[in-house]
Structure 1
């Protein structure tokens, strides 16, 4: 008789909590307190549930080894999954909680550690996990630069399912990356490789680390910007998302911009900068005509759900897919090698509505049609 698969589950409950309130990260107790004071809500458990739901029909083939409360126990209870709690986490949870949890879970001889968090969580786990234990991340943080994460929560569940069922998967070392949040909040992205961990490799579902280095396509980007400027409508609110391409658009208008946040324009003038989700929502109530200018984020081509959590489900739904101006160079689209762009918001129904063909502005009076997809 084959031994039952032992699945370790660790959730960082405050991962990503700073995203929707424009804090550019969630590291540190002070940042987490500030995020909660600004009205942020915890999302990590919901992301973990999305991953674990893919295992609902094979629950007799695995057991979960997890941590008390929001670090795993509550998620298992919500999904009625059999589980064993092997560590009682302090409240509120800290980095030390994650490190202690890894040690306790690993001591039970798990076959895989599935964790929900961001790059900070990955760093904590990498600092103590044994090199022979496979790990897989459920993306739940503001920063997801590491190659140890699946491209969506559901994708993490699918890879886990393959391991539980004994399907053939390669195991490979993947980089654990992180950026300096203090510099990140100043608009400076400085990523650093800290270590590596062993991950189950399925190229459809596990993300590649974005290559560093700046794309040298100034003329193409200038053409995109010229097209956008020609198309600007009077008395229409324009929300401008994060990224170097959208920043170039703001530069062409001679306006300050937030490289890593969301800004607002009206009649060619900057009216608000580095907005939180609540501030964006209030602007939408005051301005009936609104459009969103956004570009794909990261090496996997995420449109929503990575680095722009201020653009929440209710904000995107209010704006409507027809009012989204998606911009990108053709070179960036070619880098996807035929893979679709991705949406990964917590709202599955919204992901479905956003999926399908979308027009991408790729130059002056030049555009292409390209698919958006999501992982169920």
Structure 2
């Protein structure tokens, strides 16, 4: 195991939390929703249940308190419950008024995404999901705790406790599949008149329980060669025009280069653009001149059994190069078998720049097959 610089400290799981305090409040008093009717529902004797639903999810994380840092919203939108349960808390947003509004949900989600969270966990209904979908980008992974009257969207766990269990899997370093799920909402005014008008408002990336059976199987077991073929075919199909791809070393990346029909430097780094090899076996200095601002992506795999993605056999990917490319433009590729061989240990960055290694920590999206992704933690072992 490599030594860890004294400057680099393990980071806890950074969990973003938003609770819509009024989610579902109209259900028990037959208002068929909560959009714009919170005051009326309270007057009719409705009792808010969103805190209770969020509590059920967070209680699943109590065994991992020391490994979780919750970034959230002041008061009822997350802070009060998180502090009550004993979690380390940082408030990143405070609503301008009480009761809070959809504008507060959107502003809070924006602040949390910018703060660099590993996952945004939110309690609400379809309206809450719709608000969050409007402001977060594809790099933000979210998961909903069902607390609304209507849950047509696919971004919610089946129960509050189930949401907590999925987050616990991520904290423990287990493989968790990620997929895009639809955000749906209905016209509540029309619904109260007996008409259901559901509309799709977009998609968000969510974690789901691991699909243990690979999409490509041989005698019931994963065939590494067939899975690599699937993975390579998907990468090649997703390559964008006029984007420069830095191809890291290793057999997994070699499979991608073979799919592209290009020569490959197995123990070196190559550069591809528009289906052509534009530089082969490059140095760190050469790479710095080849990185195109906002139009370069890095494809990289890990060292089997060790988990290193930087600092082992690919020193051409220097800290300067990695910073130029940016964390959001790093695409990890590896089979699930390769990840499972780590036995839950995190991926490791040993770039030689302790500050950069710390910045890279957190949950990473790993492509494991044809349109098959999992979330896996990059960071140091405790």
TM range (shorter): 0.5 to 0.7
Deviation at 1:107, TM superposition (A): 1.6
Residue 55 of structure 1 is matched in structure 2 by 61
Post-superposition Cα deviations, 1:276-314, rounded to whole Å, max 9, x if no partner, equal xxxxxxxxxxxxxxxxxxxxxxxxxxxxxxxxxxxxxxx
Deviation at 1:128, TM superposition (A): 0.2
Q: Provide the C-alpha distance between the structure 1 equivalents of 2:28 and 2:178, rounded to a whole number of angstroms.
A: 34
Deviation at 1:131, TM superposition (A): 1.0
Matched, 1:135 2:160: no
Q: What does residue range 30-179 of structure 1 map to in structure 2 within 5 Å?
A: 31-90=37-96, 91-179=98-186
Report the 3-state secondary structure (helix = DSSP H, G, I; strand = E; otherwise coil) of the residue aligned with 2:167.
Answer: helix
Post-superposition Cα deviations, 1:37-62, rounded to whole Å, max 9, x if no partner, equal 10111110111000000011111111
Residue 25 of structure 1 is matched in structure 2 by 33
Post-superposition Cα deviations, 1:115-167, rounded to whole Å, max 9, x if no partner, equal 00000000000000121110000000001000000000000000011111111
* Paired residues, number: 202
Q: Provide the C-alpha distance between the structure 2 equivalents of 1:56 and 1:161, rounded to a whole number of angstroms.
A: 9
Post-superposition Cα deviations, 1:17-54, rounded to whole Å, max 9, x if no partner, equal 000000000012xx111101101111101110000000
Matched, 1:6 2:8: no
Report the 3-state secondary structure (helix = DSSP H, G, I; strand = E; otherwise coil) of the residue aligned with 1:177.
Answer: strand
Post-superposition Cα deviations, 1:216-273, rounded to whole Å, max 9, x if no partner, equal xxxxxxxxxxxxxxxxxxxxxxxxxxxxxxxxxxxxxxxxxxxxxxxxxxxxxxxxxx
Deviation at 1:202, TM superposition (A): 2.0
Deviation at 1:188, TM superposition (A): 1.6
| Contiguous gaps of at least 5 residues in structure 1 | 205-376
Q: Provide the C-alpha distance between the structure 2 equivalents of 1:198 and 1:166, rounded to a whole number of angstroms.
A: 19
Residue 256 of structure 2 is matched in structure 1 by none
Deviation at 1:82, TM superposition (A): 1.4
Q: Provide the C-alpha distance between the structure 1 equivalents of 2:129 and 2:170, rounded to a whole number of angstroms.
A: 20
Deviation at 1:180, TM superposition (A): 0.8
**RMSD (Å) for aligned C-alpha atoms:** 1.3
Post-superposition Cα deviations, 1:324-370, rounded to whole Å, max 9, x if no partner, equal xxxxxxxxxxxxxxxxxxxxxxxxxxxxxxxxxxxxxxxxxxxxxxx
| Contact 2:177/2:210, CA 8 A, preserved across alignment | no
Deviation at 1:108, TM superposition (A): 1.2
Q: Provide the C-alpha distance between the structure 1 equivalents of 2:163 and 2:148, rounded to a whole number of angstroms.
A: 14
Residue 286 of structure 2 is matched in structure 1 by none
Residue 197 of structure 2 is matched in structure 1 by 190
Q: Provide the C-alpha distance between the structure 2 equivalents of 1:103 and 1:133, rounded to a whole number of angstroms.
A: 10
Deviation at 1:2, TM superposition (A): 4.1
| Contiguous gaps of at least 5 residues in structure 2 | 1-8, 212-382
Deviation at 1:203, TM superposition (A): 7.6
Report the 3-state secondary structure (helix = DSSP H, G, I; strand = E; otherwise coil) of the residue aligned with 2:180.
Answer: strand
**TM-score, with normalisation over the residues of structure 1?**
0.53
Report the 3-state secondary structure (helix = DSSP H, G, I; strand = E; otherwise coil) of the residue aligned with 1:58.
Answer: helix
CA distance 1:149–1:203, change in 2 (3 Å): farther
Report the 3-state secondary structure (helix = DSSP H, G, I; strand = E; otherwise coil) of the residue aligned with 1:120.
Answer: helix
Report the 3-state secondary structure (helix = DSSP H, G, I; strand = E; otherwise coil) of the residue aligned with 1:20.
Answer: coil
